[in-house]
Structure 1
Amino acid sequence: MAKRLPVTIITGFLGAGKTTVIRRLLVNGGRRLAVVINEFGSIGLDGALIRSCGFCSEEEVENRLVELNNGCLCCTVQDDFLPTMKKLLKRSDQLDGIVIETSGLALPRPLLQALDWPEIRSEVHINGVVTLVDGEALAAGSPVADPEALERQRLEDPSLDHINAIDELFKNQLQAADLVLISRADTLSVSQLDEVKVSLLPGVRDGTALLAVANGSLDATVILGLEHQTPVHAQDDHEHHHSHVAVIESNVRLEGDLDRSVLEALLPKLVRDHQVIRLKGRVWLTGKALPLQLQMVGPRLNSWFEAAPHSLWQPVSGAGVDLVVLALTDSAAFAIESGLQRLLNATPKTTKTAAATPRH
């Protein structure tokens, strides 16, 4: 069974900092990413910024960078988005993931629905919706720094079929988010940043992390997820350095049989209660030939059956769970382990791959 390709949607208003974040992911993320850019009204500008960061060779760039300038992507899903995805997925064996930068006017939900279309849904999984918000603009009382530029973008898009007020667009972008990044956080005082976070909380789903960033600097695994689980022999601690947020990575392993439906009901509650940003892992279920792959970003949970590489840990008994957790608290892994233990009658076999080692 082929590995599903992770698709990350990065959304936010014009000028919120989407392209800056993507450039850093491409240069520092260590992944072979394809990028789909849709920023109508500034044709060629974002594409030129991505090209100039040197994320791949000139020979590769035509296959790794796609610019869609026919209008707001959520309004041209069938004409532009699906053909583009099908073309990129033909080269999925040469990619580690796809990043989509939406127009500042885009509604993320139509893209999420498109990723579930029969033509592509077995080849991808939603790696998360990341919404960029302008912290400086929000502190000044507006979700967008330049409303006139956003309005020009709206007027220049002939395919736009939704006429939403700025506040309604902002609400939609927050509601769809699995992770919210507050850009230009370095321009805010501690009290201003706290006020911005308080103002955002009512608009996001329970369990959605709000992280402050400056100049797009953030550990790539927070946005892209962990590419691989920890091999059986790898026990070394490791640190990653970035601004504003310390993320603790832990590995939880248990032997024993779990009920899939009970597990999938429990994990979202644990994620919400213990500030888990991402969770990835596999569950070996009795009677199933392949392990169940689990992917969570914030409150979103995806699961499907997929073969596991032989180099990774597997339960001796044939049934068990192996999870990697990225969280903002060092209690998250313990809480998840304890929750799983309550579902099992097994001795836990838990290792920590960077527990208590913050990512500064």
Structure 2
Amino acid sequence: MTDLAKLPVTVITGFLGSGKTTLISHLMRNPGGKRLAVVVNEFGNVGVDGEILRSCAIPDCPAENIMELANGCICCTVADDFIPTIEALMALDPRPEHILIETSGLALPKPLLKAFDWPDIRSRITVDGVIALADAEAVAAGRFAPNVAAVDAQRRADDSIDHETPLSEVFEDQISCADIILLTKPDLAGSEGVARARAIIAGLAPRPLPVVEVAEGIVDPRVILGLEAAAEDDMDARPSHHDEPHDHDHEDFESVVIDIPEISDPAELVARIEELAKTQNILRVKGYASVAGKPMRLLVQAVGARVRHQYDRPLKPGEARTGRLVVIAEHDDIVDNRIRAVLCPAAEAAE
């Protein structure tokens, strides 16, 4: 790459728990000969994904090439956060050859593309492509399609068949903005579920889009890097529910951070998260826990009532044996004290 060449950026979008961090971890380990940098935009003020990715750092993507923005949506903090971060990455020696941006699961991708039109960086970077991840099982079940009356009834006590939740708009915007769709977790959906998910996506997409099945984030980097889409110059082909001025806000969603004491059994924590999803319509839980008698930290990732957990790294000397979870829901479903009561029943009782 010459000094005059535009630095390519790939925007990786997708709904909560669709596998964005897993995909980026794979690309970091398999960069296709490119020197990568990563920007992670978290929802809320606790950076879970950034820490996961830093633990995967390798020479082609060292820890200093991984930057985290946890102060709000990138496109809402362009001057204060996004531009300085991009400029800092471009000033690294050696300079990255490709930047990956992992958006928040609640982010609308098109406003982010508009941020690339900022005069300070437009002449120096280009959006190589927008990659949208879609959970095959969830899409096949109709959870994030336009008519989700059954889910709406559970989440909002509104069973109008024409009612579109903010979740459906986010999902549609992500599909509409994409250059390639990665259909994740196809093993959970099965062949019929994958076929149904493909049909739903084809019905939502404003133009024919390639759809690639991806398990555990494993995809050849040649498939998604080097697309040369110049998406910042192709905005009209990427329609959005939020194209009108001043229509971009995040008040539909809210997050709360819960500090939890050391736990004795991961299964008990999983059961509590499942209870939250079923009784309080929680969309996403992610974070860490410390398990009594275990030298490793427990990583927890949940999408609705589907909870995954694994030990991800040894606890550091002197590290507190406590945990921290980020809980995300639609605005009306966040009730702080109820969430704490479910996740930390012993602490609530002590108070």
**TM-score calculated relative to the size of structure 1:** 0.55
Residue 102 (structure 1) shift: 0.5
Matched, 1:48 2:48: no
- 1:216 aligns to what SS in structure 2? coil
Residue 21 of structure 2: which of 12, 19, 24 is its match? 19
Residue 92 and residue 126 in structure 1: after superposition, are their counterparts in 2 closer, same or farther (change >3 A)? farther
- Per the TM alignment, residue 301 of structure 1 is displaced from its structure 2 partner at its CA by 6.8
Given that 2:16 and 2:105 are in contact with CA atoms closer than 8 Å, whether structure 1 keeps it comes out as yes
Instruction: Give the Å deviation of 1:187.
Output: 1.8
Q: State whether structure 2 residue 171 is matched by structure 1 residue 170.
A: yes
- Alpha-carbon distance in 2 for matches of 1:221, 1:92: 25
C-alpha deviation, 1:73, in angstroms: 2.0
1:23-61 per-position Cα deviation (integer Å, ceiling 9, x unaligned): 000101232111000122372211121011132389x41
Distance 1:165 1:90, change over 3 A: same
CA contact (8 A) 1:14 1:104 kept: yes
**Native 8 Å contact 2:180 2:210 kept in 1:** yes
The amino acid across from 1:195 in the alignment is R
Partner of 1:130: 131
CA distance in 1 between partners of 2:175 and 2:130 (Å): 10
> 2:191 maps to what in 1?
190
Question: Runs of at least 4 residues of structure 1 off by over 3 A?
Answer: none
- Is 2:138 the counterpart of 1:142? no
- Give the aligned partner of residue 8 of structure 2: 6
The separation in 2 between residues aligned to 1:10 and 1:42, in whole angstroms, is 20
- Pick closer, same or farther for the CA change 1:202–1:78 going to 2, 3 Å: farther
In the TM superposition, 1:310-329 aligns within 5 A as none
Counterpart check, 1:37 vs 2:46:
no
The amino acid of 1:96's aligned partner reads E
Q: Kindly report the root-mean-square deviation, in angstroms, between the aligned alpha carbons of the 2 structures.
A: 3.0
Task: Map 1:1-360; keep pairs closer than 5 Å.
Answer: 2-29=4-31, 30-41=33-44, 43-56=46-59, 60-62=62-64, 64-91=65-92, 94-143=95-144, 165-225=166-226, 278=227, 295-296=228-229
For 1:219 and 1:51, the matched residues in 2 are separated by 21
Determine the C-alpha separation between the residues in 1 that align with 2:42 and 2:120. Answer: 25
Matched positions, count: 217
CA separation of 1:137 and 1:42: change in aligned 2, threshold 3 A: farther
Give distance in 1, aligned partners of 2:216 and 2:193.
18
CA deviation string 1:98-136 (max 9, x = no partner): 100001111111211111222111111111011111111
Shift of 1:91: 2.9
Gaps of 5+ in 2: 146-150, 156-164, 236-351
Q: Which amino acid aligns with 2:47?
A: G
The verdict on how the C-alpha distance between 1:297 and 1:194 changes in structure 2, with shifts beyond 3 A counting, is farther
